[in-house]
A and B are shown apart, each in its own frame.
Chain A
Amino acid sequence: AQKITQTQPGMFVQEKEAVTLDCTYDTSDPSYGLFWYKQPSSGEMIFLIYQGSYDQQNATEGRYSLNFQKARKSANLVISTSQLGDSAMYFCAIEGTDSWGKLQFGAGTQVVVTP
C-alpha cells in the first residue's frame, strides 16, 4: 500500500517568487513513480512532472522541478517564478509496482499567487 502526505493545506505566493510544495510518501514497493498534478478551479487535473524511484537525477519540466530525496521519502515540487495562472490546487501522487493504473493522491495544497 502507498500513502502520500501533503502537510501544507494552503499558501500565498507573491508573483515571480519561487514556491516549494511539500510531499512525503510511504511505500514498501521497490519501484514506484511519483507524480505532481495541478487542478485549477475548472476541475481538470493537469500533469506537471514525474519522478521514477530509480531516476538518479531530479526531474525538471520548464518552471517545475522536483526535489527528490529518496532516503527521506520526500518529493517536493518547486515552482520557479510564480505566475498568476499558477493559482490552483496541487496534488502529489504515487503509483507503486503492479498498481495497474491506481494513483494514490495526497490531500493537496491550495496555492494562491498574488500580484
Chain B
Amino acid sequence: KAGVTQTPRYLIKTRGQQVTLSCSPISGHRSVSWYQQTPGQGLQFLFEYFSETQRNKGNFPGRFSGRQFSNSRSEMNVSTLELGDSALYLCASSLETGSNQETQYFGPGTRLLVL
C-alpha cells in the first residue's frame, strides 16, 4: 500500500506570494492533519480534516487555510507569504474508525523557503 504523498517536495517563493501544498493520504484513510516544523517552534499542528470538514485548527493566522476533497486528498494554502513561513510542512493521515488516538502516518513533507 502506498504511503502518504506530498507535492511538491521543495518550493521557493518570495514574500507576498501565495502557495498551495498537496497531500494524498494512504488509501482508505479519511483523516488528514497538517503540521508546520521550524527550528525555533518545533512541530506545530495546523489543522485536521475529515470528510471534507475541518474538525480542528491550531493557532495560526487566517493566512493558513486548507481543504479536503471527496477522495480525502487535502490541500493547504498560505497566502501573503512571510519569511517566517519558511518551514517543513508535514501532512499525516489516519484511518479514523471513530476511536480516539489513531496512529498518524506522515508524508515526506514539503520544504518551503520564502525569500
Spell out A's residues near B (CB within 8 Å).
31-33, 35, 37, 42-47, 50, 52, 91, 93, 95, 97-108
A108 to B32, CA, bound (A): 23
**B108/A101 in contact, CB under 8 A:** no
Question: Binary interface profile of B, 78-104, with partner A (CB < 8 Å = 1, else 0)?
Answer: 000000000010101010000011011
A93 to B94, CA, bound (A): 15
**B45/A102 in contact, CB under 8 A:** yes
Min CB distance A74 to B, Å, is 18
Output the nearest chain A residue to B6 by Cβ-Cβ distance. A44
A44 to B58, CA, bound (A): 21
Set A31, A43, A47: member contacting B104, Cβ < 8 A: A47
A-B contact count (CB 8 A): 70
**A52/B101 in contact, CB under 8 A:** yes
- Report B11-28 residues with CB < 8 Å from chain A CB: none
**B100/A43 in contact, CB under 8 A:** no
Given A91-B43, A97-B100, A98-B100, A45 contacting B90 (CB threshold 8 A):
yes
